[in-house]
Chains A and B, each alone.
Chain A
Amino acid sequence: MLNYTEKEVANRKALVINPAKTCQPVGAMYAALGVHGCLPHSHGSQGCCAFHRMFLTRHFKDPAMAASSSFTEGASVFGGGSNLKTAVKNIFDLYDPEIIAVHTTCLSETIGDDLNALITDMTIPEGKYVVHCNTPSYKGSHVDGFTNMVSGFIRYLAKKGPETNEKVCLLPGFVNPGDMREYRRIMNLMKVPFIMLPDTSGVMDTPMTGKFEMYPKGGTLINDIKDVGNCMATIALGLKVSEPSAAVLEKQCDIPYQALPLPIGIEATDKFVMALQDISKDEVPYALEEERGQLVDIMVDIHPYTFGKKVAIYGDPDTVLGIASFALELGMIPKYVLTGTPGAAFEERARELFEKFGMEGCMAKEAGDLYLLHQWIKNEKVDLLIGGTHGKFIARAEDIPFVRMGFPIIDRYVHSYMPLVGYKGAMRMAELVSNALLDYRDRTCEEKDMEMVL
């Protein structure tokens, strides 16, 4: 399939080939699914909504419910106001959500629908909510869409009251339900009361009950979103994905925030735990210390196999940087780190990481694509590839062991239930990485080098 990839890297100005990103609305839809009783609504053509639902379903293997304004020719000429009005009425009549979270699309943005005005003019049933965010598909990526939806919830709902609720507002970043469950476990172990926004656990990883729930048990409660206005602090996980929403909350409700990288790997998780300790003023419980010790023990066990191995990592900015950071901790060389999402900070942060570990010759690229990554790999091969499903063709073409992490993973199962974050997540990553390297060795080494014990 990738016979067309040319080794020589030419400066492409016009085309993206084999993207490492997608558009904003799908991120907004995912974020909105993390609010309890919420029906995400796509204000655009019906195809957008169908594509996004399919994309999410392929990754999470769970139904992703969302409605569409179903634009027609008329809407694209006269504006989508009446479509939205009809949609909201129909949605409350038939699907009865507690809240509708509208996001825009390239079309509704380009024709200039003013969602603020449209929603203000709308009759919304008593006790129900309609919120929105702008997600022009021609800016940023799905990661920005997630951020914008989280900010949208805050803008519409967060209110500062007279008293603090003594809780932390935790912004989880664009991660899997498995990661969100792991955050919760760590927060509970650290005895820090919190509100997590959004929380897709219990929504996109629901148990089998033989019943289909349009609004599953999970998700951040609307009252809790209102209440984040009374939090004593925000911890924003993911500098790219979460910090902007923390800034919105700070501005709106005067809540100080601390932005941290996604807690992937040992140091980033340490930072997260320390930040929690600063708040709880309590000792780190033995359970967590034990986990950290186990993780280091595992890293010692596998270091002969990971040390010096070159790895290429692609996907969303915060996730890629987190994986790169753990790879460095494992003694690996993050030869190429690439994200499709635009934003110069990615390259800066990657370079900081490289410098910290004394790495030379590693390359980082924002707004890149998988065609470019393949070209790089053709010029200098790596020992391991880490990213979402779409890299599998590169792995096959170049015969590189491949570990799936990040979004989207549409050809494997179970990933969305399991964390990458925290010490437990790092243990899982250590297992995935070392298994991939050792499986490859067992499969490809010469007969004389085949060993029973590794």
Chain B
Amino acid sequence: MMNTATDKKEEFSVLEERKDSILYKYEGGCSGTGIRCDSDSVSGAVSQRACVYCGARVVLNPITDAFHIVHGPIGCASYTWDIRGSLSSGEEIYRNSFSTDLREKDVIFGGERKLEAGIEEIALKYHPRLLFVYATCIVGVIGDDVDAVCKSMSKKYDMQVIPVKSPGFSGNKATGYKMACNAIMQLLLPYKNREKRNGINILGDFNLAGEMWIIKNYMKEIGIDVVATFTGDSSYENMIKAPAARLNIVQCAGSSTYLANRMQEEMDIPYIKVSFFGIEDTTNSLLRIAGAMKDEKALQKAEEFCNRKARELEGFLETYKKGLEGKRAAVYVGGGFKAISLIRQFKSLGMKTVLVGTQTGKPEDYEVIESIAEKDTVILDDANPAELEKFMIEKKPDILVGGVKERPLAYKLGIAFCDHNHERKHPLAGFEGVINFTKEISDGILNPVWKYVRQ
């Protein structure tokens, strides 16, 4: 039986429009009408949700040798300058910030000339292969034809200048993911008929704290070739090889499923969704990749490898489990798939997830969350701080897993915090990630500082 939270909890003041975005999970619960997700934030809500530009930028930003030009007033460039924490083994140009810094006269007379001049400045100085031009909120409103500018500049300087249509108002962050995927497709389509070879593309990993390198090592370990990566530690040359792969694996489903779908339809590359968070999901993912590649040898290697790694972790986990058994976790992350992995990971540590929310979770993600969550777990879509606070006070978690905006809220409530987003301090993926994650959760919860918080 599934009710909206407010049916049960009259004292919570929750915006009427938001009631359908909050669920209480009761024992034996099954999905009724489901949660209302994937819609725009309500006007006036203190939403945590970012915009189309933000979504597009975070997906494309890790491409290491690309120039990312933000066409608009300065803010959008300032707020996204090197915020992603994506690492590079090669070029580092992506960590700089380029903006046309549109001024009042550009708004009146149009910004096309300035954009052209900006692209030329870069073209003449650096002769790059790849530039992305992000069209922010006002670009369309003032009538700039960014497509035309990109086209003519591409031709003039024999380089790829790819427009990314990302006005903030044109949807939410998920729309931005889609725009980024379209930009990548524009880059790949000329190479779509490449001859296939035995290898995979890794989609939806952004090499935060070097996680792409961990996954690539695993592939090496089980003997599966990696053709291209999207977009962590990737480059122009690397990406255009992608159409040759036999399989796509999708880690961050929220941002990259759309790309996987398009590559499946237009390049005949099937995909599977994977997650490398936690032993269970990492093991399953490696086995499924080997299986999907129909590679018996890889399957055997994966089994051996994962068993060995899991064995190596046994003693470690037992030690930490002692301190963590019975502790309560709250999860508020971007995508639904990550939330699912986290619930499983907490379960394996003997912890209980009492609150789950996502910013961009899909209906099917929420179905899975509902099925694996324990009874009384609160499930939220696009929560605002007031809601998060109310439910955190009610559910009393010992730790919150979230992103930058949730950290101070958790701390103010005297609750430990783990950043599972751009500000993660170390890799959280793979078996290495299990160690880091477990230590971080334990260090957070058991830290003496909480003793000094006046209750």
Contacts and interface: CB of A to CB of B under 8 A. Distances in A.
Interface of A: 1-4, 6, 10, 12-19, 21-23, 25-26, 39, 41, 44-55, 57-58, 61-63, 65-73, 75-76, 83-84, 86-91, 93-95, 105-107, 110-111, 136-139, 141, 206, 208-214, 340, 371, 390, 393
B405 A50 contact: yes
Given A47-B168, A54-B79, A87 B44 contact: yes
Contacts of A110: 107, 137-138, 141-142
B13 A14 contact: no
B51 A48 contact: yes
Contacts of B173: 47
A111 B143 CA distance: 12
B144 to A, nearest CB: 12
A209 B411 CA distance: 10
Contacts of A106: 72-73, 75, 102, 107, 136-138
Interface stretch (B112-120, B283-291, B372-380): B112-120
Band of interface residues on B: 35 or more
A47 B97 CA distance: 18
A152 to B, nearest CB: 19
A45 B51 contact: yes
A48 B75 contact: yes
Contacts of A53: 405
A22 B99 contact: no
B280 interface: no
A123 to B, nearest CB: 14
Contacts of B172: 46
A87 B454 contact: no
A347 B346 CA distance: 57
Contact of A208 (B53, B54, B414): B414
9 pairs of A and B residues whose beta carbons are closest in the complex = A47-B51, A23-B75, A45-B168, A90-B44, A87-B44, A14-B117, A22-B78, A14-B118, A137-B73
Contacts of A18: 81, 96-97
B50 A46 contact: yes
A87 B137 CA distance: 20
Contact of A23 (B73, B169, B414): B73
Interface string B400-432: 000011011101111000000000000000000
B228 to A, nearest CB: 24
A138 B102 contact: yes
B101 A139 contact: no
26 contacts: A3-B92, A4-B96, A14-B114, A15-B118, A17-B97, A19-B74, A22-B78, A23-B78, A26-B75, A44-B137, A47-B50, A50-B54, A52-B79, A57-B404, A57-B405, A65-B46, A68-B43, A68-B45, A68-B47, A110-B138, A110-B141, A138-B102, A139-B103, A209-B412, A212-B413, A213-B412
Given A22-B79, A48-B51, A90-B15, A57 B408 contact: yes
Contact of B411 (A88, A95, A208, A213): A208
Interface in B45-71: 45-54, 69
B98 A15 contact: yes
B102 A66 contact: no
Contact of A70 (B42, B79, B452): B42
A48 B167 CA distance: 11
Contacts of A390: 81
Nearest to A408: B78
A130 to B, nearest CB: 12
B41 interface: yes
B326 interface: no
A126 B54 CA distance: 38
B40 interface: yes
B405 A62 contact: no
A66 B41 CA distance: 14
A412 B104 CA distance: 35
A91 B13 CA distance: 12
Among the interface residues A2, A45, A48, which one has the most CB atoms of the partner chain B within 10 A? A45
Interface string B81-106: 11000000000110111111111101
Given A45-B167, A54-B79, A95-B386, 17 more contacts: A2-B96, A16-B100, A16-B101, A22-B78, A44-B137, A47-B54, A49-B47, A50-B48, A51-B80, A63-B408, A63-B409, A65-B385, A67-B45, A76-B167, A138-B107, A206-B412, A210-B453
Nearest to B94: A1
Contacts of A2: 96
Given A50-B47, A76-B141, A87-B44, A19 B81 contact: yes
A136 B104 contact: yes
B101 A72 contact: no
Given A16-B77, A45-B137, A46-B49, A90 B168 contact: no
A383 to B, nearest CB: 25
Given A3-B92, A54-B404, A206-B412, A19 B101 contact: yes
Nearest to A20: B78
Interface string B10-31: 0001110100000000000000
Contact of B125 (A6, A137, A211): A6
A315 to B, nearest CB: 13
B312 interface: no
A209 B75 contact: no
Given A46-B41, A65-B46, A95-B46, A107 B412 contact: no
B61 to A, nearest CB: 13
B322 to A, nearest CB: 26
Contacts of B43: 68-70, 83-84, 86-87, 90
B408 A61 contact: yes
B311 to A, nearest CB: 39
Among the interface residues B81, B102, B169, which one has the most CB atoms of the partner chain A within 10 A? B169
Contacts of B141: 76, 107, 110-111
Interface string B184-198: 000000000000000
B73 A138 contact: yes
B238 to A, nearest CB: 19
